[in-house]
Structure 1
Amino acid sequence: MAHATVTVDLVVRDLLHEDLAGCAWTGHVPFISAALGRRTAGAVDYLAVCGPSDLPVGVGGVDYSRQADAGWLWQFAVHPAFRSCGVGTLLVRSAEDRIRQRGLSFAELGVEQTNQGARRLYTRLGYEVTREQDEEWDALDAAGRPVRRRAHCVMMRRAL
């Protein structure tokens, strides 16, 4: 078996409605679409990390309406083929840059208590646990039907 190291330039840009068809792997397309509608009012930023094909390999949003002094990171996803390659770190740091550009001092997020991989990433990036609480959100079940999901989450915060 041959092995090689390949370097690929990644670009972080605003996610566009035209990108949604290429984001089916996230499982969030209807919710991303709704978030993009809130972007025009300045309530959110929604980012895409793209390779040379300009297809998103990582996506995530920043909601500015949840906390007065912080941007709320949510719906972050990295394509399974690109996990553990630095895409998530690039996405989080780019979202933090957007929050700083708004003049806000903190980034916050919630991660399901059972999602230890994501929690390790956020801890490595300087996020600290502030509390635990149950959260609810809209999701899709395995058949693609809308459901209300509930989970115990660890809330994390980082000073920018």
Structure 2
Amino acid sequence: MHRDFHSGNILYDLGSRDRWNFNRLFIIEWKIRDLGLSQAVNNRSSNNEIYGVIPYIAPEIFKESKFSQKADIYGNLLRVVNLLLMLNMIFILDVRLLMENDLKLQDDTPECYATLMKSCWDPDPKKRPSIKNIYNTLIMYLAICSQFKI
């Protein structure tokens, strides 16, 4: 588990490729940095302190201080979708919105992305998709969008 996913810790390199060529998403080089708070998934010891950038912290962390892979999913997907759409769709000023899981998307967010993001924000971490499911869904959406030049 990374335990501190946010916009500064996920890097990507498009090189000289056109950043709007979504057909090439799968060859973008993604890098994760700042592994200082990361732990093995099966590590049961934790100091239960909350670390990270507030908009990227899963609501259960504030309630239970329990990190999991699903908490990483919550924060990671916000970054990926923001990168894909080149938008800043979410800006959270109030920690209470996170705790109440009352996040809002901009009205012009494409429905396919809105649905995926909402599934990653499910209050029950067990109901959030895996990173593999997210990847496959995004590739499918991007293929459809590029086919219809959306």
Q: Same fold (TM over 0.5)?
A: no
Shorter-chain TM range is under 0.3
Which one has a larger percent strand, Structure 1 or Structure 2?
1
TM-score (norm 1): 0.24
Structure of higher RCO (CA pairs closer than 8 Å, 6+ residues apart): 2
Which one has a larger percent helix, Structure 1 or Structure 2?
2
